[in-house]
Chain A
Amino acid sequence: MRQELRRLLPLLLAASTAVAAPDEDLEDLLRREVEGPSRYAQSLLDAPAPVAVFGQREAALLGHQTVAEMLGRLPGVHLGNSRQYVTVGLRGLSRPGDYNARLLVTVDGFRINDALYDQALPDTEFPLVAEWVKRLELVYGPGSSIYGANALLGVVNLVTLDGADAPGLRLRGGLGSFGTRRALLQYGQGGGSDVFVGVQLLRSRGEDLDLPELGLPGPVRGLDDLRQASLFAKLRHGAWRASLGAVRRDKEVATAPYDTVPGAAGTRFRDAYAFAELAYEEDWSQALRRSLRLGLASSAFDGEYRYPDVENRDTARSLAWHLDARLQWRGWLNHELQLGFDAREVPRGEQRNFDVDPEFVYLDSREPSHRFGLFLQDQWRLSANWQLTSGLRVDHIRSLKPQWSPRLALVWRPRAHESVKLMLGRAFRAPNLVENFYGDGYTQLASPDLKPESLRSAELSWERALDERHVFTLTAYKAYLERTIELGQDEDSGLLRYLNLAGIRTQGLDLGLQGQGADGAQWRADLSLIDARSAGQRLSNSPRWLLKGHWIQPLGQDWSLGLEVQGQGRRSGRVEVPTQFSANAALRWSRAGQQLGLRVLNLSDRKLYDPAGPDNEALLRVPQPRRSWRLDWQWMF
């Protein structure tokens, strides 16, 4: 996967220098991508896990603007919208209070999950927008044997654009329903020093929301406002790379969480996240390849809660240092060994809760957190058709017992365009600082003695190209999540508290078909069947099936039409949310870098809902966005 990142630079160098050293030449050729229909399938048949990939072209033609929209197209993913945040569920697991802590998200390999909640939210809370992502790769199944904590259900890696991928200066503007305005500026320059910079400003007045549970006379107006700014910059020179990403988002909250005053302004969330990384990533030289990365990430949350007689605040701050060192070695024929060490040091994770006037402090927690892990992986090609990957990682986290994450993957390639994979593995998630230490003593207690939750899984996948233009995939999986950390009720006090609850068993099937037409048309359809249970009972907020598809149709030289459809089965919660379907459409005109796009979301204007979680106690269900349109244009200079 990492090789992908480095593909273009040597290419550019090769183009500018006609005669290169002969051995370098061959290595460059082997890195080059082949064009043709098989590429559109974007499959990774040889990878030791099922991988789904979503690329820039599809995202652009479907009119995507957020990473969440890209992620949402992939099989097994079910996003939720609490009107506070967009949450990520995968294969039926979307637990109350967990926005996305069970999926690891990386940007060019850098861990984005923050140091307090261990989560990475992919919508407007994310430092990157869809336009800056070259490809999104979702690796299904436990990934802890390489990545350590949080790589429980899968790993999402975002490969960002290089300057050479999107050269020149581009300015995009957008207007849409609900008073949405968006401006985006990006600049790319290829060459010896590759530069990419992008900035986005987003503003939306938001919707008027029908929330009958709040007992207000009419819809809640003017409380869905969103303001966001994000930045991403990357400089690449030879084996060196420096990246910087930042986002700040202000969201008014209309759903009256935590008993705040319904329909009144003043309950709002501000989230900020920033990261910087300096990386040295070598290409193969002789039998060895080395990489060293040093990163810094900060996160901040400010919640303001409006109560009848007082204003309450939540603040959370964290700063984390990241170190990642890897050695890859090909000294033994047919083996590729990888040895890695990484560490995350959080000098202080701060959580405070207090009333403003009169001032009263309920919570003032300043806890450090440190973790490091060591892993070894061997990718062994047993024959031309068989490959065995085995790996083991041990993690030391704060005062917890060492966590061992083994993994075994067998890949069989009966023919060039077919692969069968069997994976067995274990992954874990350590309790985060919020689960451990958030407690105000009135509504919620801290829970410092939580144990890590762990997942064991077995997965079998089959992928086959039916012909030059059609690819079929089938994956069956079974997993057991042990000691699930969830918000529960403390037996003695009756207050809320994070607890290690009963295990969750999931099993399911993902069935996918994708194709490409001779005219550049492209489509994909995925059906997921999911059975998730805890103590024999079906899990809440877990659809039994997901159906999604998209179709991109070029219309002549300059025009294209993109359609997306998704449906999911009924989900239980405080009330049952029935089966629902929705569709989006995007029409685009593009010529010589100038673009015009019209996108309509929730085409048929259906009333869609998500089950309400503990953050929306006052509601039975959360209304999802109604029909909206957006108009975007781009100038390229």
Chain B
Amino acid sequence: MHRPVRRLLCHMALALLAAPAWAQQSAVELKAQVLVKVLRFVEWPQGSLVEGQPLQVCLLDDGALARQLQSLDGQAVNTHPLRVRPRAGRGAALGGCHVALMGAATTPESPGLLLVGEEAMQAEKGAMLSLLVEDGRVVFDIDLEAARRVGIGFSARLLRLARYVRKA
């Protein structure tokens, strides 16, 4: 067989073999992508996020999801560029943050701040949006009541995609 033909066949075979590989992604990668997409359906209180203003995601955690989110810095969320602010030490100010990725500790509520967690929703920890892996897929829970208290709303469409929505 001519070498180029052989090489071509080889490449084809490899490409075909490789195909199913991108059918799966790591949970962390997928969670980060889901979070960014979910943010498109979140409504912040009037005035706290004006058109074109960066949407600030503050990391209170330095786990795998936090690291993954940093790589998504600069992505567009509706009209806002995403700004991912790495953890700046315990008790760092959350001023200007629209979203906070919680760590293991409880984070106090603050107006206009969406608290995002990674465990099945535990009201006492305060997460308003929880990203979970369920039967091999990423799902999310929403605590509507907690979000309302800080003036945050979600589109009806997003609520329908949620695994579980906690109401008052």
Contacts and interface: CB of A to CB of B under 8 A. Distances in A.
A190 B141 CA distance: 33
Instruction: Give the one of A287, A330, A333 with max B CB within 10 A.
Output: A333
A555 interface: no
Interface string A172-197: 00000000000000000010000000
Given A286-B160, A333-B159, A385 B120 contact: yes
Given A30-B161, A31-B137, A287-B160, A8 B132 contact: no
B1 interface: no
B157 A43 contact: no
A330 B160 CA distance: 6
Interface stretch (B13-21, B50-58, B99-107): B13-21
B94 interface: no
A416 B138 contact: no
A33 B136 contact: yes
Contact of A35 (B24, B34, B135): B24
B104 to A, nearest CB: 15
Given A15-B22, A384-B120, A34 B34 contact: no
Instruction: Give the one of B22, B37, B166 with max A CB within 10 A.
Output: B37
Contacts of A39: 24, 136
Interface string B140-157: 010000000000000001
B161 A35 contact: no
A23 B157 CA distance: 9
B88 to A, nearest CB: 29
Interface range, B side: 35 or more
Interface stretch (B25-33, B65-73, B79-87, B108-116): B25-33
A388 B24 CA distance: 30
Given A43-B135, A416-B133, A26 B23 contact: no
Contact of A32 (B25, B134, B164): B25
A22 interface: yes
A413 B37 contact: no
Interface in A363-384: 381, 383-384
Interface in A117-131: none
B40 A30 contact: no
Interface range, A side: 35 or more
A167 B19 contact: yes
A617 interface: no
Contact of B137 (A30, A383, A416): A30
Contacts of B97: none
Contact of A415 (B120, B136, B162): B120
B130 to A, nearest CB: 8
Nearest to A385: B120
B28 to A, nearest CB: 9
Interface string A15-42: 1000000110111011111111011000
Contact of A38 (B132, B136, B158): B136
B122 to A, nearest CB: 8
A23 B37 CA distance: 8
B164 A381 contact: yes
B17 A593 contact: yes
A194 to B, nearest CB: 12
Contacts of A25: 37
B135 A44 contact: yes
A334 B164 contact: yes
Nearest to A167: B16
A481 B161 CA distance: 40
B139 interface: yes
A284 B30 CA distance: 20
Contact of A384 (B121, B136, B137, B167): B121
Nearest to B123: A384
Given A38-B133, A384-B166, A29 B19 contact: no
B72 to A, nearest CB: 13
B163 interface: yes
A592 B16 CA distance: 9
A31 B25 CA distance: 12
Contact of A45 (B20, B135, B158, B161): B135
B135 A46 contact: yes
A334 B26 CA distance: 27
A164 interface: yes
Instruction: Give the one of A35, A47, A287, A381 with max B CB within 10 A.
Output: A35
A501 interface: no
A168 B18 CA distance: 12
B49 interface: no
Contacts of A22: 37, 40
A33 B134 contact: no
B20 A34 contact: no
B27 to A, nearest CB: 4
Contacts of A381: 163-164
Contacts of A333: 159-160, 162, 165, 167
Instruction: Give the one of A33, A34, A331, A592 with max B CB within 10 A.
Output: A34
A29 B33 contact: yes
A165 B10 CA distance: 19
Contact of B161 (A27, A38, A415, A416): A27
Contacts of A592: 10, 13-14, 17
A334 B165 contact: yes
Contacts of A45: 134-135
A384 B10 CA distance: 49
A284 B158 CA distance: 12
Interface string A380-400: 010111000000000000000
A286 B163 CA distance: 15
A15 B138 CA distance: 19
Contacts of A36: 26-27
Contacts of B159: 333
A495 interface: no
Contact of A383 (B10, B33, B34, B164): B164
Contacts of A292: none
Instruction: Give the one of B16, B138, B141, B157 with max A CB within 10 A.
Output: B16
Nearest to A43: B135
11 contacts: A7-B23, A23-B41, A32-B25, A32-B30, A34-B24, A34-B26, A39-B136, A43-B135, A167-B16, A333-B165, A384-B130
Given A47-B135, A593-B17, 19 more contacts: A22-B40, A25-B37, A26-B38, A27-B161, A29-B34, A34-B137, A45-B134, A284-B160, A286-B157, A286-B160, A333-B160, A333-B167, A383-B166, A384-B122, A384-B141, A415-B120, A592-B13, A592-B14, A636-B16
Interface of A: 7-8, 11, 15, 22-23, 25-27, 29-36, 38-39, 43-47, 164-165, 167-168, 190, 284, 286-287, 330-331, 333-334, 381, 383-385, 413, 415-416, 592-593, 636
